[in-house]
A and B are shown apart, each in its own frame.
Chain A
Amino acid sequence: MTALAETRVAAPDVVTASGVSFAWPGRDAFRLSIDSFVLPARSRTLLIGPSGSGKSTFLNLLCGITSPDRGTIRIAGTALEGLNLAARDRFRAEHIGVIFQMFNLLPYGSVIDNVVLPLRFAPARRRRAALHHPVEAEAARLLMALGLPADRHKVPTATLSIGQQQRVAAARALIGAPDLIVADEPTSALDRAHQDRFLDLLFAQLGAAGASLVMVSHDESLGARFDRTVALSDIIAAEDVA
């Protein structure tokens, strides 16, 4: 715990990426590079980019699912390229919460099971989540705070509406207060009213958890709610070598 606190003091930036270059194996024609990308702690960044702009590759790099050929990506002070495959998976479970556009949940398993899923792979995060009460109670608390009533916590996830599913996904990303929340168009399947309400609730819990948010969207009108808005094309250079 103290080591974690020190890292946070020593590295106020949650994400720093520099000189990153990546090509899909066997596909040398397409190369993606990031000169510099920095995400301050407790900040909310909106990334604007259409699909096909290297968005998925960027998020995979950010989460350590794929690793760059060159350059450095540091999350919460740890250089991802210094970790092996298994260590990167464990690191992701400990430090990053992920929300997809849709289909966030395992169809089997209850709502609560889905929320506590990352804790299975992240012992330190589990300890944080269990600080005040059992992890299931913490999951229920987050779900309530995100506006999912208690009578929906035990139902099969398939019976939830899209909006409700996104709340479950948000609770899963937030549980155990990871350093970074990565959200890939989490509101694009919602209508405007639900979008706003979802973001209100998400931001409130984000503040409580002390996490930073990177959210990708193609909707620039959301920008007003974020600390800053960045165009993906400004940080990513996608070279078509061929």
Chain B
Amino acid sequence: MIVFRLALQSLRNRWLTALLTVLAIAFSVILLLGVEKVRTGAKASFANTISGTDLIIGARSGGIQLLLYSVFRIGNATNNVTWRSFEDIANRLEVAWAVPLTLGDTHRGFRVLGTIPAYFEHYKYRRDRGLAFTAGSPFVDLFDAVIGADVATELGYSVGSELAITHGSGSLPGASHDDLPFRVAGVLAKTGTPVDRTIHISLQAWEAIHVGWERGMRDANRTVAPDRARAMDLRPKAITAAMLGLKSRLMTFRLQHYVNTYRAEPLSAILPGVTLYELWDLVGTAETALVVISGLVVVTALLGMITMILATLNERRREIAILRANGAGPTTVVGLLVSEATILTFAGTALGVAITYLGLFAARPLIEDAYGLYLDIAPPTPVELGSLAAIVAAGCLAGLLPAWRAYRLSLADGMMVRT
């Protein structure tokens, strides 16, 4: 207790260097916790890109590939799913709802998704958050489009804007569906998911713009005018993928097995949550790099603290000699320096944790708006508590090195410091 009070008084005497050391440790703790929060936040956001959907079905392919094109709109499907197969599966008893998805066309770099209005109701992210409209509504007219938040901001579109869809990825000249322009009917709120970068149109509209495109390019003689299209029977013949919601999760594996062994055509069904984690593991190297970097930052801060204590040691030899002469043993001297290191690390860690949480509360809405990244504010996880405890422990240990040196010096100096 005496030692602790002496350490405090001594620190107060050197408050500026002590304060800087505390700040250095605090910042490294902020970085460590911040990286950890962003990492878990990113992982959670990623894993919650799509939720509420029990199965995604598509043509037979790897699970990650199916997830990439159906949810992330990356890459293309190897094959289509016939409408008959889709209807067959959608009408099974286990299925509560089914939303077909058709992909392949783009508009100025953004993917176009053909679907049904139920999509806006059933697409969920971050557990139970649904899509919200900041303006407009789902499709009313055949040639209505609903655009994601990023599409709206990057292209400057709002309700009423006109857009022409490009056939395919837009690399071929003249492959434009500009004879049948779309009108923006609704703008979705930011979600932090690929929905933000998607232009949604109805499946019927998808069929309409592809009348006369059976051979992959426009056959001017066979295309239709908008008004005629509105009167046509536009039942699709094939889709790219479909989202399924089941009446009970217990049926998931049975239905997955049914789809995977579907007789009429080769299909695959994936559980999006599971496949999302598989995909995250694939890109997890960056995550490890982040953890390593923040670990290094902590080591740097602790080295800085050792340096600070060692540097002040020389001017404190006199102080230590005075203590020794007045009956303080080497254990007191060692205790003095170790408790100084402990006080500094503990204060730094506590300050760091406090600033991190204050920062999280202040910045969370901004980060969610700007990046669609939702940071969960929760008490420190066991892993985080573990690393905080490790920092404090390392700080105490770091105090041992200067303490050992001070002990050696005090033995050599005795009571008489030659200055």
Q: Is the interface of B mostly helix, strand, loop or mixed?
A: helix
Say yes or no for A203: interface residue by CB 8 A criterion.
no
CB distance from A166 to the nearest CB of B (A): 14
Docked complex Cα distance between A120 and B325 (Å): 13
Q: Indicate if the CB atoms of B324 and A93 lie closer than 8 Å.
A: no
Q: Indicate if the CB atoms of B329 and A89 lie closer than 8 Å.
A: yes
B158-177 interface mask toward A, CB cutoff 8 Å, 1 = contact, 0 = none? 00000000000000000000
Docked complex Cα distance between A55 and B224 (Å): 113
Q: Indicate if the CB atoms of A117 and B326 lie closer than 8 Å.
A: yes
Say yes or no for A12: interface residue by CB 8 A criterion.
no
Contacts of A107 in B (CB 8 A): 13, 319
**Of the 9-residue stretches B56-64, B347-355, B411-419, which lies at the interface with chain A?**
B411-419
Given contacts A56-B414, A63-B415, A107-B13, contact A89 B319 (CB under 8 A): no
Contacts of A65 in B (CB 8 A): 324-325, 414-415
Q: Indicate if the CB atoms of B318 and A103 lie closer than 8 Å.
A: yes
For B415, give its contact among A85, A98, A122 (CB under 8 Å): A98
Given contacts A92-B327, A93-B327, contact A106 B416 (CB under 8 A): no
For B414, give its contact among A66, A90, A106, A172 (CB under 8 Å): A66
Closest to B11 in A: A108
Say yes or no for A105: interface residue by CB 8 A criterion.
yes
Which of A107, A109, A122 gathers most chain B CB within 10 Å?
A107
Docked complex Cα distance between A85 and B411 (Å): 11
Q: Is the interface of A mostly helix, strand, loop or mixed?
A: helix
CB distance from B21 to the nearest CB of A (A): 17
Q: Indicate if the CB atoms of B328 and A89 lie closer than 8 Å.
A: yes
Contacts of A104 in B (CB 8 A): 322
Contacts of A93 in B (CB 8 A): 326-328
Q: Indicate if the CB atoms of A100 and B319 lie closer than 8 Å.
A: no
Q: Indicate if the CB atoms of A121 and B327 lie closer than 8 Å.
A: yes
A83-125 interface mask toward B, CB cutoff 8 Å, 1 = contact, 0 = none? 0011001101110001010011111110001000110111000
Q: Indicate if the CB atoms of B325 and A63 lie closer than 8 Å.
A: yes
Closest to A55 in B: B416
Contacts of A105 in B (CB 8 A): 322
Which of B13, B327, B328 gathers most chain A CB within 10 Å?
B327
**Which chain A residues numbered 171 to 187 have a C-beta less than 8 Å away from chain B?**
172, 184
Docked complex Cα distance between A117 and B13 (Å): 17
Q: Indicate if the CB atoms of A86 and B325 lie closer than 8 Å.
A: no
Q: Indicate if the CB atoms of B9 and A108 lie closer than 8 Å.
A: yes
Contacts of B332 in A (CB 8 A): 89, 121
Given contacts A65-B324, A90-B327, A100-B325, contact A109 B9 (CB under 8 A): yes
Q: Indicate if the CB atoms of A118 and B326 lie closer than 8 Å.
A: yes
Given contacts A59-B415, A86-B331, contact A108 B12 (CB under 8 A): yes
Say yes or no for A60: interface residue by CB 8 A criterion.
yes
Interface residues of B (CB under 8 A from A): 2, 9-10, 12-13, 318-319, 322-332, 411, 414-417, 419
30 contacts between A and B (CB under 8 A): A56-B415, A56-B416, A63-B415, A65-B324, A66-B411, A66-B414, A85-B329, A89-B324, A89-B327, A89-B328, A89-B329, A89-B332, A90-B327, A90-B329, A100-B415, A100-B416, A103-B322, A103-B419, A106-B10, A107-B13, A107-B319, A108-B9, A108-B10, A108-B13, A109-B9, A118-B327, A120-B2, A121-B332, A184-B415, A184-B416
